[in-house]
């Protein structure tokens, strides 16, 4: 398999590239500025620059690489999306359109879109299944919801094997790129670095989260699942849905003495309040065997060990 990733330098892309390489794929990783510093060279992995807002460059790159599948991760996330709605529309909406068009012209078999729980709107009865009305209240959610529809249109109209997962908030040692769920990682990271973190949401805020190794495994398993197993092209996946206070407690178990306080940023809080508290992922479990390995506490223990090493080596 030859896989091309857009937005590969981000939090998800760096881990996805490694997992695809472990699966034996040849991986062409693309992002605005090519390979980020600090990423090691690996056999089977190449990096190049690609701005998905540039339709001609996207067409050229995808035609030149001729991948079997494209993992489309390039995006502006929720918090930055509210600060820069025009850029978010251009990257998330037009960037996806250019990538779908490039796949159509180059006859790429499959495109995976990283979607999000932000496609849902507020006040839904939990756990939320896939087939509810989508009423997102952020530019990020709006562009991802319409992106899912655009992908499904390419599936119907041109036979592209379009697949997408509505990912929960993801936690990994990589510094996140401007999402509203970033507080979770910073509770761990700042507790290790400074012994303290002041969280921007209310302690009782509850949203679905997942540890990155589970998320990238889900993406690869889903992309590789036989089409005959799939009853839909867009799935929820879920792992755990802790409150911010429960995450803080888990952090303190791993990092004794850590102090976590709360000082609400109303704009970020309103984004978090518009998302579901829990997702129904029964379709993914039944159709392609999705099952998470990490819960909050097993994640905390693995993550803290990794962050301690990173912080120590960066000093
Ligand atoms: N991280 C999460 O918690 C989370 C949750 C749900 C869904 N997702 C989705 O997963 C995908 C990856 O998210 P992430 O956490 O790695 O985000 P990130 O912000 O860390 O990475 C996104 C990458 O996209 C790149 N990018 C931005 N504009 C671009 C452009 N015009 N052309 C090409 N690349 C561009 C950025 O340089 C960045 O490396 C996104 O589509 C996001 O919506 C992430």
pLDDT tens, position by position, 18-27? 999 999 999 9
**Which candidate in 120, 140, 188, 235 is catalytic?**
140
Of the candidates 162, 164, 118, the residue with the CA atom closest to the CA atom of residue 138: 118
**What does the chain come to in residues?**
315
Return the CA Rg of the chain. Answer: 19
Torsion region of 67: left, alpha or beta (phi above 0 gives left; psi -120 to 50 gives alpha): beta
CA–centroid distance, residue 29 to ligand 1 (Å): 13
290-307 per-position pLDDT tens digit: 999 999 999 999 999 999
188 is catalytic: no
Three-state SS string across the chain, please? CEEEEECCCCHHHHHHHHHHHHCCCEEEEEECCCCCCCCCCCCCEEEEECCCCCHHHHHHHHHHHCCCEEEECCCCCHHHHHHCHHHHHHHHHHHHHHHHHHHHHCCCCEEEEEEEHHHCCCCCCCCECCCCCCCCCCHHHHHHHHHHHHHHHHHHHHCCEEEEEEECEEECCCCCCCCHHHHHHHHHHHHHHHCEEEECCCCCCECCEEEHHHHHHHHHHHHHCCHHHCCCCEEECCCECCEHHHHHHHHHHHCCCCEEEECCCHHHHHHHHCCCCCECCHHHHHHHCCCCCCCHHHHHHHHHHHHHHHHHHCC
Ligand 1 residue neighbourhood (C-beta within 6 Å):
6-7, 9-13, 31-32, 50-53, 73-75, 77, 91, 95, 114, 116, 167, 169-170, 176-177, 179, 181
| Tokens representing residue 130 in the block | 């896939």
Whether the Cβ atoms of residue 98 and residue 147 lie closer than 8 Å to each other: no
Q: For residue 179, what are the contacts with CB-CB under 8 A and spacing of at least 6?
A: 77, 78, 79, 169
Is-same-fold flag (2-170+209-236; 173-208+240-275+294-313)?
no
264-277 per-position pLDDT tens digit: 999 999 999 999 99
**Among the CATH numbers 1.25.40.10, 3.30.1330.40, 3.40.50.720, 3.30.300.90, which is that of 2-170+209-236?**
3.40.50.720
Question: pLDDT class for 176, splitting at 50, 70, 90?
Answer: confident
Q: Using CA positions, which residue lies closest to atom 23 of ligand 1?
A: 7
CA–centroid distance, residue 73 to ligand 1 (Å): 5
CA–centroid distance, residue 246 to ligand 1 (Å): 27
Residue 200 C-alpha from the chain's centroid: 21
Ligand 1 nearest-atom number relative to CA 8? 39
- pLDDT for res 38: 82
CA–centroid distance, residue 68 to ligand 1 (Å): 21
55-106 per-position pLDDT tens digit: 999 999 999 999 999 999 999 999 999 999 999 999 999 999 999 999 999 9
Q: Using CA positions, which residue lies closest to atom 7 of ligand 1?
A: 116
Residue among 29, 75, 111, 174 to mutate when testing ligand 1 (max atoms within 8 A of CB): 75
CA–centroid distance, residue 56 to ligand 1 (Å): 21
145-156 per-position pLDDT tens digit: 999 999 999 999
- pLDDT for res 243: 98
Q: Using CA positions, which residue lies closest to atom 15 of ligand 1?
A: 11
Whether the Cβ atoms of residue 210 and residue 238 lie closer than 8 Å to each other: yes
Of the candidates 184, 201, 216, the residue with the CA atom closest to the CA atom of residue 296: 184
- pLDDT for res 245: 98
Q: Using CA positions, which residue lies closest to atom 1 of ligand 1?
A: 170
Residues above pLDDT 90, as percent of the chain: 95
Q: Does domain 173-208+240-275+294-313 have CATH number 3.30.10?
A: no
Q: Residue 297 burial (CB < 10 Å; 0-12/13-18/19+)?
A: middle
| Pairing assessment for the beta strands 161-167 and 234-236 based on DSSP bridges | parallel
Asked whether residue 177 carries a pLDDT value surpassing 90, the answer given is no
Question: pLDDT class for 41, splitting at 50, 70, 90?
Answer: confident
- pLDDT for res 178: 84
Q: Using CA positions, which residue lies closest to atom 5 of ligand 1?
A: 169
pTM: 0.97
- pLDDT for res 265: 96
Ligand 1 nearest-atom number relative to CA 118? 6
The full set of domain ranges for the chain reads: 2-170+209-236, 173-208+240-275+294-313
Residue among 30, 74, 276 to mutate when testing ligand 1 (max atoms within 8 A of CB): 74
Instruction: Please compute the mean of the pLDDT values over residues 253-259 and round it to a whole number.
Output: 97
Of the candidates 184, 90, 175, 176, the residue with the CA atom closest to the CA atom of residue 139: 90
């Amino acid at each position: 398999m030859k896989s091309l990733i857009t937005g590969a330098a981000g939090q998800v892309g760096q881990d996805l590239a490694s997992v695809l390489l472990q699966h034996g794929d040849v991986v062409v990783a693309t992002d605005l500025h090519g390979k980020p510093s600090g990423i090691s060279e690996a056999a089977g992995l190449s990096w190049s620059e690609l701005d998905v807002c540039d339709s001609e460059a996207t067409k050229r790159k995808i035609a030149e690489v001729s991948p079997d599948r494209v993992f489309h991760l390039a995006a502006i996330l929720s918090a930055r999306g509210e600060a820069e709605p025009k850029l978010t529309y251009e990257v998330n909406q037009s960037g996806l359109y250019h990538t779908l068009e490039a796949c159509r012209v180059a006859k790429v078999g499959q495109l995976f879109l990283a979607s999000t729980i932000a496609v849902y709107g507020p006040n839904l009865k939990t756990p939320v299944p896939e087939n509810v009305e989508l009423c997102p209240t952020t530019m990020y959610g709006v562009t991802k919801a319409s992106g899912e529809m655009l992908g499904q249109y390419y599936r119907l109209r041109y036979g592209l094997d379009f697949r997408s997962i509505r990912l929960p908030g993801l936690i990994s040692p990589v510094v996140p790129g401007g999402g509203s769920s970033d507080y979770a990682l910073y509770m761990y990271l700042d507790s290790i670095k400074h012994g303290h973190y002041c969280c921007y949401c209310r302690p009782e805020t509850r949203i679905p989260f997942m540890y990155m190794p589970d998320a990238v495994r889900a993406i690869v398993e889903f992309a590789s699942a036989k089409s005959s197993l799939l009853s839909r092209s867009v799935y929820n996946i879920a792992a755990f849905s802790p409150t911010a206070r429960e995450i803080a407690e888990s952090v303190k178990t791993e990092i004794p003495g850590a102090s976590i306080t709360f000082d609400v940023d109303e704009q970020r809080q309103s984004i978090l309040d518009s998302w579901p508290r829990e997702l129904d992922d029964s379709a993914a479990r039944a159709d392609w065997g999705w099952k998470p390995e990490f819960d909050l506490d097993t994640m905390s223990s693995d993550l803290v060990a990794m962050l301690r090493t990173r912080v120590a080596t960066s000093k």
